[in-house]
Amino acid sequence: MQTKKIILHCDVNNFFASCECALNPSIKDQPVAVTGEVTKRNGIVLAKNEIAKRFGVKTGDVIFEAKRKCPDLICVRPHHKIYEKYSRRIRAIYEEYTDKVEPFGIDECWLDITDTVKFFGSALDVANTLRQRIKEEIGVTISVGISFTKTFAKLGSDMKKPDAVTIISPENFKERTYKLPLGSIIGVGKKMEAKLNKLNIFTLGDLASFDENIIKRKFGIVGERLQKNVQGVGDDEVQNIENYKVVKSVGNGTTTLVDVKNKKEIRSVVMFLCDEIATRLRNKHLTGSTISVSLRRNDLIWISKSHTILKSTNLSKDIYNTAMEIVDQIWNEVCPLRSIRITVSNLDSEDNYQLDLFDTNRNRKTLENAIDKIRQKYGYNSITPLLSKNDRLINQQALRLDDDDDDDLS
C-alpha cells in the first residue's frame, strides 16, 4: 500500500504589508496599506495588514476610499526588491526541512515532507516550527495547510488566517471541503465556475460526485484533472528545489513607446509578448502552468498577479487568454501603463504534455509548431499575430527577454 504524501502549503500573511511592518516596527500595531502614490486620487491599495482589513480595507480600493473606511490608515510605497529578499530568506528556511520546495508566486510555497518528517516529529510539529521560526527570524507570519495533496494543502492554508495551521486529512477531507464553493480551490476561475454552474455543479462535493464521462467530454483533460483533485486522487508532485532552480521561468517585458490607455491597446502588447514567450518555451521543449502579469503604471507603481492553470502549456493562445484575464482583474484603465511584463513559470518538460481525444488544443499546437518552422527558416518577424502589429506601442529594441529572472519587479 502506497504511503500517503505529507504536503504543506505555506502562505505568508499579507506579504507586502507584513514586510513593511517588519521593516518599520513602529507601525506594526496600526492599520497599514501598501499603495500607489497618495497624492494621486487614482492610486490604489496593493496590500493591507490585518488591522486595516478589519476596517474593511480591500486590495484594489482607491486610496481615498480606503481612507474613508479607515481614516488613520498609514499608506506606504512598495519596495519590491525588499520583498524579493524576504521571500528568498523564507524559502531558505523551508529548504532546511525538505528539498522538495515548490514556490507559487513570491509569498507561497508547497513543501513535500513525506520523506523527511521523521527527522522533525510530526507534520504538525514541522508546521508549528516553521510558523515560529519565520515569525522570530523574519518578522512576518505564515498560515500553513497540511494535507495529502497539493490542492487540499493550498485550500487548508486559505481556510484559517493569519498565523494558523489547518489539517485536511484523507479521513476528513470530504467533511471539511465538499460544502465549499467551486472557487475555493486552485484552478477554478470565474469562467470555469460559470460553465460548471450550468451543469448544476456549485460545490466541491457536486463536482466530486458528478458523472466523470460528462466532465471529460465537456472539459477534456482539464476537467478530468480538476475532478480528480477534488476527489483527493490528484497526483501532482511537489518539485524538487534543485530542479526548479534549473529553469524557473520564461519572461518577456517591454516599456511601451507611449502610455497604454485602454484594453484594446494592451491586448496588442500582451499578444506580442505571449507569442514570443510561447515560441521560446517550444524551442526549449518546455511547458508552463503559472502565468504572471506585472504592469507598471505611469506613476511608476507596479501591480501584479499570478494565476495557475490546470494544464501546462506552451501555446500562445492559452498564455494570452490567461494573461488578459489577469489584466482585467488588476487594471481598470484609470491610470495609464508604461511597462508590461508577462512571465510563465512552474515549468515542465514538453514530453509530459499529452493530447487526448477531447483536447481542443490539438489543432492549435499543430499550427504553432508549423509557425515555428516558418520562423526558423525565414526569421521571427516573417509571421506574427495580426493583433500584435502595433508599432506605435511596441519598441522591439526595448524588449526584456530572460529566463530564470529573480528580479522581475525590481
> Does 348 have pLDDT greater than 50?
yes
pLDDT recorded at residue 3: 74
Instruction: Report the run of H or E that residue 212 belongs to, with start and end.
Output: helix 212-231
Spell out a b/e string for 189-199, using b for 16 or more CB atoms within 10 Å of the CB, else e.
beebeeebeee
Q: Return the C-alpha torsion angle 129, 133, 136, 139, nearest 10.
A: -120
**Range in 20-24, 213-217, 333-337, 400-404 with the lowest mean pLDDT:** 400-404
CB atoms within 10 A of CB 318: 23
CATH fourth-level superfamily of 181-231: 5' to 3' exonuclease, C-terminal subdomain (1.10.150.20)
With cut-offs at 50, 70 and 90, classify the pLDDT of residue 1.
very low
Q: How confident is the model at residue 191 (pLDDT cuts 50, 70, 90)?
A: confident
Cβ(123)–Cβ(132) under 8 Å? Answer: no
Kindly report whether the peptide bond that precedes residue 181 is cis, defined as omega within 30 degrees of 0: no
- Least-confidence region, from 263-277, 323-337, 339-353: 339-353
Handedness of CA 296, 297, 303, 308 (dihedral sign): negative
Cα three-residue angle 285-290-294, rounded to 5 degrees: 115
Say yes or no to pLDDT of 62 above 80.
Answer: yes
Report whether 73 contacts 53 (CB < 8 A): no
Q: Distance between CA atoms of 66 and 60, rounded to whole angstroms?
A: 9
pLDDT by residue (tens digit) across 78-91?
A: 888 899 899 999 99
Q: Is the pLDDT of residue 278 over 80?
A: yes
Q: In the annotation, is 350 catalytic?
A: no
Whether residue 53 has pLDDT greater than 90: yes
How much of the chain exceeds pLDDT 90, in percent? 55
Determine how many CB atoms are found less than 10 A away from the CB of residue 170.
Answer: 12
pLDDT category at 347 given cuts 50, 70, 90 is confident
Among 71-75, 290-294, 344-348, whose mean pLDDT is lowest? 344-348
pLDDT higher than 90, residue 229? yes
Whole-Å CA distances, 240 to 112, 216, 233, 331, 347: 9, 30, 21, 34, 12
Pick the closest to residue 369 from 281, 251, 296 (CA basis).
281
CA dist 40 and 69 (Å) reads 18
For residue 14, give Cα distances in angstroms to 296, 326, 397.
21, 20, 37
Q: State the CATH architecture for 247-403.
A: 2-Layer Sandwich (3.30)
- Residue with cell string 465538499: 178
Cα radius of gyration rounded to whole Å, the chain: 22
- Which of 167, 65, 180, 177 has its CA nearest to residue 126? 167
Cα–Cα distance for residue pair 114/22, rounded to 1 Å: 32
Among 102, 108, 224, 265, the active-site one is 108
| pLDDT of amino acid 42 | 54
Q: How many residues does the chain have?
A: 410
Q: What is the pLDDT of residue 20?
A: 96
| pLDDT for 292 beyond 90 | yes
Does the structure show a pLDDT above 90 at 73? yes
Q: Is 70 exceeded by the pLDDT of residue 376?
A: no
pLDDT category at 115 given cuts 50, 70, 90 is very high
pLDDT reported for residue 318: 92
Contact (CB, 8 A) for 318 and 361: yes
Rounded Cα gap, residues 205 and 195, in angstroms:
16
Q: Determine which of 84-88, 161-165, 358-362 has the lowest per-residue pLDDT on average.
A: 358-362
Q: What are the backbone angles phi and psi of residue 397, rounded to the nearest 5°? A: -75, -20
Confidence of residue 409 (pLDDT cuts 50, 70, 90): very low
Name which of 217, 231, 248, 271 is nearest 394 in CA terms. Answer: 271
User: Which of 128-137, 343-352, 376-385 shows the highest mean pLDDT?
Assistant: 128-137
Q: Where in the chain is the domain with CATH 3.30.70.270?
A: 1-177
Superfamily grouping for domain 1-177: Reverse transcriptase/Diguanylate cyclase domain (3.30.70.270)
Please give the pLDDT value at position 400. Answer: 43
Q: Measured between alpha carbons, how far is residue 63 from residues 29, 42, 327 in Å?
A: 20, 7, 20
User: pLDDT tens, 15-46?
Assistant: 999 999 999 999 999 999 998 766 655 578 98
| Sequence ranges of the chain with CATH classification 3.30.1490.100 | 247-403
**Mean pLDDT: which of 44-53, 123-132, 242-251 is highest?**
123-132
| Residue 170 to residue 177: CA distance in whole angstroms | 11
Task: Determine the Cα–Cα distance for residues 11 and 314; give it in Å rounded to an integer.
Answer: 28
* Mean pLDDT to the nearest integer, 375-389: 53
| CATH 1.10.150.20 placement within the chain | 181-231
C-alpha cell at 115: 520523506
The pLDDT, as a whole number, for residue 38 is: 64
CA distances from 250 to 219, 245, 307 (A): 27, 13, 15
Average pLDDT, the chain: 85
- Does the predicted model carry a pTM greater than 0.75? no
In degrees, rounded to 5, the angle at the alpha carbon of residue 296 between the alpha carbons of residues 294 and 301 is 115
Strands 249-260 and 400-403, by their bridges, are: antiparallel
